[in-house]
Chains A and B, each alone.
Chain A
Amino acid sequence: MLKVNRKLSILGLLIIATLLISFSIKEIDPRLQKKIDTAILATYEVESKVLKNVIIPAEINDETPASLLENSFFEIYSNEIKIGYLYLGEAPSMKRKFDYIVLFNTDLTIKKSKVLIYREDHGKQIGSQRWLKQFIGLSTDDQPTYGESIDAISGATISASSMTKAMANVLKSVKILKEKQVLKIE
């Protein structure tokens, strides 16, 4: 009886541990990771890079409009020198969700944004740098607005406004990180 109880306890612990691990660590899909790596190397014009995950305390994450859970916000290093920050997020398109990144300079202005994986045929225009370049240079004090400071795209209204909203939320969130001194600007 005692043996059975012990075995059941171990099994229970194992199940809880597995559940905890799967909920706390959001694995980045290898295809997405490859695209992130390519984007960093091309944008910062470096040959190698290291990503360091920025751990955001749960209470601060509750305050930010963009989710900053694990594997969302990173410091980027090349040859041990910090060259910028990266935010990895997802936003809704018409029927599904797309993955995007925002690459920051070390002063937290936007260096570039890219849509990396888009999962439907409609609205793909938002991936064009001709449209995305409007976000370049924005700082945490800026709030991009679709149709006003950011041009609308005919035929991709849902995805384009979704991306604009996501970018505004990321900027707002990074501002909070700065204010709470989670990020220390050199």
Chain B
Amino acid sequence: MFNNKFIQTFKLLVMRKLTLLVMLFFAIATFGQLETTKKQQDIAAIKAMCGCYEVTFKYTETFAPEIDYEKHLDYTSGALEWAELIEDSNNKLSIQHLLLVRDTMVIKHWRQDWEYENQEVFYYDKDNNWKFSTLPKESVEGQWTQKVFQVDDSPRYSGSATWIHADGKHYWENKTDSPLPRREYTKRKDYNVMKRGNRQEITSTGWVHEQDNDKIIREDNQEDVLLAQEKGYNVYTKVADEKCKPAKDWWVSNNKFWGKVRNSWDNVYDRTGDLTLLKSVDKEPLFMHFYKLEKENAKPREINKLIKNFVADKSVSNVKSK
């Protein structure tokens, strides 16, 4: 009698535990699947920015806290742009943008790297100085870091956020500090930091890069001063890849050289703390020096040497190895 009751209770307990175990297994599997699906959606959104695009660039100053600030003229421009996926690994995608001017002239433009749950970032401070740091693991869960680089693959800005796929929309938003944009780099001296509000949304016709930027005056040991705000609206409309053929061909001819350049930069970026770059050496900015090296398809040693000439804080470089 006692034995039967004991066996029944034991069986019941085992059954209950088994049920819980099975439920837990399904929960983990479903969650894992959801996570994979979400990550796949993210990757699809990032990759959707690749291809040939007609681009319109529009910027307008909106608000300024001081009454005597005189708004600058709007900036508008347009171009054909080829966006090539140059790296596609499990947790990193890299897109190189190339401008096509007057249908034939190709200009290497910006590059955007996307890294999943990445902890290594750089933030612009001021005076051509970036601070390299490591984010806590828990703060980047499910997020993608966008790292944006100049035409010469030197840094511009980076920021980490989650891709949102909801209500039929696919977008990524982030706010981060950056140097002055190229369109104002040589023209403006009344502010020295741009706090960029970036929003990249994939649309049915391509994608839109919307910006809400703050033009900031930053000085040591003082609070940032907001000079003016601006709205940026860059529309990328997808067109046939064939239209960008000269840019595609240019990349085939030049990608090996720029691969070496990226490798050289990776050694420089392998650090924590400051990275200060000189604005010019021998009266020329870095990208001008690269024209010559690109033409010669220079070796890594020469590329390293050039980049090293522009790094102002040599004493702190390569303090950390990955």
Contacts and interface: CB of A to CB of B under 8 A. Distances in A.
Interface of A: 35, 38-39, 42, 98, 114-118, 124, 127, 129
5 contacts: A98-B67, A114-B68, A115-B67, A124-B67, A129-B70
Contacts of A38: 68
Contacts of B70: 42, 129
Contacts of B67: 98, 115-118, 124, 127
For the complex, would chain B's binding face be called helix, strand, loop or mixed by DSSP majority? loop
Interface string B164-192: 00000000000000000000000000000
B39 to A, nearest CB: 47
Interface in B52-73: 66-68, 70
Contacts of A39: 68
Interface in B140-162: none
A38 B227 CA distance: 14
Contacts of A117: 67-68
Interface in B240-277: none
Q: Which 5 A-B pairs have the closest CB atoms?
A: A127-B67, A118-B67, A116-B68, A115-B67, A114-B68
**Interface size class of chain B, counting residues whose CB lies under 8 Å from the partner chain:** under 10
A129 B68 CA distance: 9
Most B C-beta atoms less than 10 A away, residue of A39, A98, A115, A127: A127
A114 B68 CA distance: 6
A6 B70 CA distance: 58
Interface string B62-91: 000011101000000000000000000000
Contacts of A114: 68
A118 B69 CA distance: 12
Most A C-beta atoms less than 10 A away, residue of B66, B68, B70: B68
A42 B69 CA distance: 11
B106 to A, nearest CB: 38
A38 B68 CA distance: 10
A13 to B, nearest CB: 42
Nearest to A115: B67
Contacts of B68: 35, 38-39, 114-117, 127
A114 B67 CA distance: 9
Nearest to B67: A127
B184 to A, nearest CB: 16
Contacts of A42: 70
A131 B67 CA distance: 13
A129 to B, nearest CB: 6
A39 B68 CA distance: 9
Nearest to B64: A127
A129 B66 CA distance: 13
Nearest to A98: B67
A135 B49 CA distance: 50
Contacts of A127: 67-68
A117 B66 CA distance: 7
A85 to B, nearest CB: 19
Nearest to A118: B67
A135 to B, nearest CB: 15
Contacts of B66: 35
Nearest to A125: B67
Contacts of A115: 67-68
Nearest to B70: A129
A121 B70 CA distance: 18
Contacts of A98: 67
A127 B67 CA distance: 5
